[in-house]
Amino acid sequence: MSERFRLTLAQLNPTVGDLAGNAQAARLAWQAARAEGADLLVLPEMFIAGGGARDLAARPAFSAQAGRVLAALAAECVEGPAILVGGPWSGEGAVFNGCFLLSGGGIRHVVGKRHLQGAGGHDESPSFAPAPVSGPLAVGPLRIGCLIGADATDGEAAETLLETGAGILIVPDCATYGEDRELRLNRMVARVVETGLPLIWLNMTGGQDNLVFEGGSFGLNPGGALALRMPLFDDALVHVDLEHEGDGWRIAQGERHRFPDPLEQDYRAMVTGLRDYMGKSGLARALIGLSGGLDSALVATIAVDALGAENLRCVMLPSEYTAQGSLEDAAAVAAALGCRSDLMPITAAQGAVTQTLAPLFAGRAPDLTEENIQARLRGLLLMAIANKFGEMLLTTGNKSELAVGYCTIYGDMAGGYDPICDLYKTRAFDICRWRNENHRPWMRGPAGIVIPERVISKPPSAELRPDQKDSDSLPDYRLLDPMLEILVGQEGSVADCVAAGFDQTTAERVARLVAMSEWKRYQAAPGPRLSARPFAGGRAYPLVNRWREAE
């Protein structure tokens, strides 16, 4: 007769620093697990502290309080399943990234993470010390090999756990959207093939700063067959049966969720990032300068889907260079989304600033300075509204503009969060059309066309001088974005751009603009990571740098 062991996998969304709230979420999951007859509840890496806690998790007072919260949770959860939960672990004069086994009213064992992630916005290496080697954890008839996050990339660690009696590998993680999902799966399959053990990889959900934890937890049986897969982005509590036959444990076949198409994934990540950045900050209402262009229309749509139309204010701030069509397009977007819109022309303010500066600027022709004044006046007025009404100003710079510095510091870059900062302009066109054609239950905005086709199809323009077009200053985005992907996404060179068929002079200019704009990006608002090489957390270039690729 085969043995059975029931796991409850809790793919949940913790809040950084909310130790009591995260413990309550664990408690509710434990109650559900107990009701289903589970033997063990598993929660993700660093769940009690919140994913992306960084140096906060290693702060002695914080890690000590986390330990007390875990001890209290263990004392409360006596009659029921054991709990495996991640959190900071203080010991031996250091703080480790740990996974705690709570059972019988106390903390029975702690496993530490050895391989710390050392790059990107999720860098752990300054916060934690590498932990000593740990053996399997015993829960009833099951011996568990626990590999926290990047520890599962180490084949020797998995082999050691097999040799010391592990019957299954469990990998609590806090992996983010934009990481190489296929590489991760291949590594987990490799551990299964090498050891012959089943493996469960458990992720968290939700947004934190520039990170979005994507969920998508899964289980693999010996040989690498997919036994179950949980949804992307959604919280889920799944009860999984393990069955022990003569040749070891196997995961009973469960639901295997299909992942949505890449455009939907990007859009969902942006909505999730904004929703949690606002919600976890205690902010409810957002504000945006709506220009009639594509980027601000897309950010407004993301905001409505994340927060609801009642929680977004759109302000149109026309100047003498704003086309009537742009005002009409902005009004159409606000009306389609159902959010408040206000009109605040900047012409009088612009005239006052021009008059004030006239004595100093006498004899000098108008140039980029006067264009930037318009952007900064808009930023000034929008920040005043945000302050007065307790709203967060959202900025609307896409990755293409941020890459080449086609944005005004303290102007259109003003704001607390940029939902599209890792989205290339050409991708933004595709996302807008996708949103017009699709609606999902997690969207709080209306179905149907919310971004008029004219907004999507008209030539992009900052409208800071007569008849201005983005293409006056930049290559066409259909040329620019592939070059940026080579130079930024792949860390390639001008020569790589030329080899891909691009004009050398244009590639040299784009590379120079990217290098010269590092200081602007350093001061840019945070936003969700969508790619393997986001500017926030994905690159670490100096602000002052004389090196330029040989031309």
Same-domain status, 504 and 405: yes
Radius of gyration of the chain (CA): 26
Check whether 294 is labelled as a binding-site residue: yes
Nearest to 136 by CA among 108, 111, 116: 111
Same domain, 229 and 274: no
Q: Length of the chain, please?
A: 551
Question: What does the pLDDT read at residue 122?
Answer: 66
Mark whether 132 and 219 lie in a shared domain.
Answer: yes
Q: Is 163 annotated as a binding residue?
A: no
118 is in an annotated binding site: no
471 in a labelled binding site:
no
22 is in an annotated binding site: no
pLDDT, residue 115, reads 86
Domain that holds residue 312: 263-522
Q: Can you say how many angstroms the Cα of residue 515 is from the centroid of all Cα atoms in its chain?
A: 25
Measured CA to CA in angstroms, residue 58 lies from 72, 97, 461 at distances of 20, 9, 47
How, if at all, do strands 286-289 and 226-229 pair? unpaired
Distance CA 69, CA 73 (A): 6
Question: CA-CA distance, 200 to 276, in Å (whole number)?
Answer: 27
**pLDDT tens digits, one per residue of 445-498:** 999 999 999 999 998 877 777 877 777 888 999 999 999 999 999 999 999 999
* Domain-ending residue, one of 259, 276, 306: 259
CA torsion, ordered 120, 285, 312, 431, to nearest 10 deg:
20
The verdict on whether residue 478 carries a ligand-binding annotation is no
pLDDT at 92: 78
Q: Quick one: 23 and 103 in the same domain? A: yes
For residue 338, CA distances in Å to 94, 135, 345, 396, 445 come to 53, 57, 22, 20, 8
The pairing of beta strand 82-91 with beta strand 94-103: antiparallel
Q: How many domains does the chain have?
A: 2
Based on the domain organization, do 247 and 390 belong to the same domain?
no
CATH number (domain holding residue 175): 3.60.110.10
Positions of the chain with pLDDT lower than 50, given as ranges: 1
CATH number of the domain where residue 323 is located:
3.40.50.620
> Does 291 belong to an annotated binding site?
yes
Evaluate whether residue 548 is within a structural domain.
Answer: no
Residue 247 pLDDT: 86
247 lies in the same domain as 299: no
Cα separation, 72 vs 292, whole angstroms: 54
Question: Alpha helices of 126-201 — where are they, by DSSP H?
Answer: 155-163, 181-195
Q: Give the predicted TM-score (pTM) of the model.
A: 0.95
Answer yes or no: is 545 within a domain. no
pLDDT recorded at residue 459: 86
Could you tell me if 409 and 440 lie in one domain?
yes
Nearest one of 334, 351, 416, 405 to 379, comparing CA atoms? 416
Is residue 237 part of an annotated ligand binding site? Answer: no
Q: Which residue numbers are catalytic?
A: 45, 113
The annotation status of 401 as a binding-site residue, yes or no, is: yes
pLDDT at position 332 is: 97
Task: Examine the domain organization and report whether 217 and 106 are in the same domain.
Answer: yes
pLDDT at 121: 55
CA–CA dist 118, 108 (Å, integer): 29
Specify the pLDDT at position 549.
Answer: 81
| First-to-last C-alpha distance (Å) of the chain | 73
Q: Which two tokens stand for residue 393?
A: 């100003």
